[in-house]
Amino acid sequence: MVVNALLTTFLCTVALPILLFLLAVKLWEVYTLRCRDPTCPFPLPPGSMGLPFIGETLQLLLQRKTFLRMKREKYGYIYRTHLFGNRTVRVTGADNVKQILLGEHRLVSAQWPASVRAILGTETLSNVHGAQHKTKKKAILRAFSREALELYIPVIQEEVQAAVKEWLASDSCVLVYPEMKRLMFRIAMRVLLGFEPEQIQTDEHELVEAFEEMIKNLFSLPIDVPFSGLYRGLKARNFIHSKIEENIKKKVQESDQEWKPRDALQQLIDSSNKNKEPISMQAIKQSATELLFGGHETTASTATSLVMFLGLNPKVVDKLRQELEDKAEQGMDLQSLNIESLEQLKYTGCVIKETLRINPPVPGGFRVALKTFELNGYQIPKGWNVVYSICDTHDVAEIFPDKEDFQPERFMTDPCADSSRFQYIPFGGGSRMCIGKEFAKVLLKVFLVEVVTKCHWTLLNGPPTMKTGPTVYPEDNLPTKFTSYVQT
């Protein structure tokens, strides 16, 4: 009698829930694969769809690089999964990624996860399509023209010089990653959104905190309930919008003053007025938030990686200093940089390229299949999300020998000249290539000039563990001691 009771208890409390869970997982797998296109002769990519409803989102958020490496090793360069509420195919490798990036509007269309669309907004450049995307892209590109970048350089140099001065004056270690985010935030506020230094000073602390909260929850489950990631992200976004709105209203009032230098946000407003297409305040705020995210989060990530790689490779620092000293002897004014002088810094550019190869700040991009199509022997069903991987594609690129080594010299000649250019894609590719890439290159070169000519630095914890969320960053924030460099 007792044995029967124990057996019954065991079956009800342990065995039955396990069986029901396994049944639910199996039914979930069957349900998620029902949308295979029967008219397409190719099979679905290999992979697994994870747990019911949440798929493999939690594993990705918690494990990131480990999860992605395990998946690639198990299933190859193309595999299926279920992320952020969507059936998803993840794609790696130059030839595969090339088909995705060049298939925009024909095979795929840009579509970020629901949480990203909800927080950044549906009227941002990354989320609009067709003629609207073309018009908005054209307007913003004017703000990243050669002439516009020339105007930004003095502001960038001023902000970097002020930050370097603070680091050198600090008696304790500097947490590089938070400092980079603060520096790049100020630069983006000034040259992309047109804020005056006094305006930034007043609200900087609150804005930076809100932006951190928004970015932290950018990729979250699409569930808007109190205390959820999406709820916190939207709340932070709303605070940022409220702070930006006053400056936007001022811009709208002053948009007829053609003599005034134009920032990226002003270009959007001017373009709207010129084309007599009214643009809502909400749309402008969304564009401002997107510019702020794209213009400071990725550059902060790369600037941090530069400090890290150079701190680990002192011979590269010596070569950088030698290039800058040689240019100074030839008459280059390093205290008053311009586009022409920055273009002459070839090795400096190679250091940035190599940093972007190993640690691309954005690990990949999101698309949605417009129709069922074949990719390397697998079918990609209509409606499925397609994530192309930048970091994994760099990892498997055949044109880079000794991939783990930091070797800027590899870029002194174009390694992609005689092979697929899609083996190196730090800024994406196709019609959705990052429109701020030239701005990023200019900013990072100015940053390197200032840091290398004025500082020695030591990484106090050695090589850090790198994480992603949503951009690449060091887990320990890269504690570093800066001291003055005096040329001998």
Q: How far apart are the first and last CA of the chain?
A: 91
CA distances from 151 to 233, 435, 482, 484 (A): 33, 18, 29, 29
For CA atoms 458, 463, 467, 470, the dihedral sign is positive
Asked if 81 and 56 touch (Cβ cutoff 8 Å), the reply is yes
- Assigned token pair, 405: 């080594």
**Strands 86-91 and 385-389, bridge-based pairing:** parallel
| b (16+ CB within 10 A) / e for 296-308 | bbbbbbbbbbbbb
Q: How far apart are CA 468 and CA 66, in angstroms?
A: 11
d(C-alpha 449, C-alpha 241), whole Å: 34
Q: Which of 206, 214, 284 is nearest to 245 (CA)?
A: 284
> In 264-343, where does DSSP find H-type helix?
264-274, 281-312, 314-329, 339-343
- Residue 434, annotated ligand binder? yes
Instruction: Tell me the CA distances in angstroms from 47 to 71, 372, 398, 422, 486, one per residue in order.
Output: 8, 18, 25, 24, 56
Residue listed under structure tokens 């563990």: 465
Rounded distance between C-alpha atoms, residue 81 and residue 10, angstroms: 34
Which residue numbers belong to the known binding site?
434
Which residue numbers belong to the known binding site for heme?
434
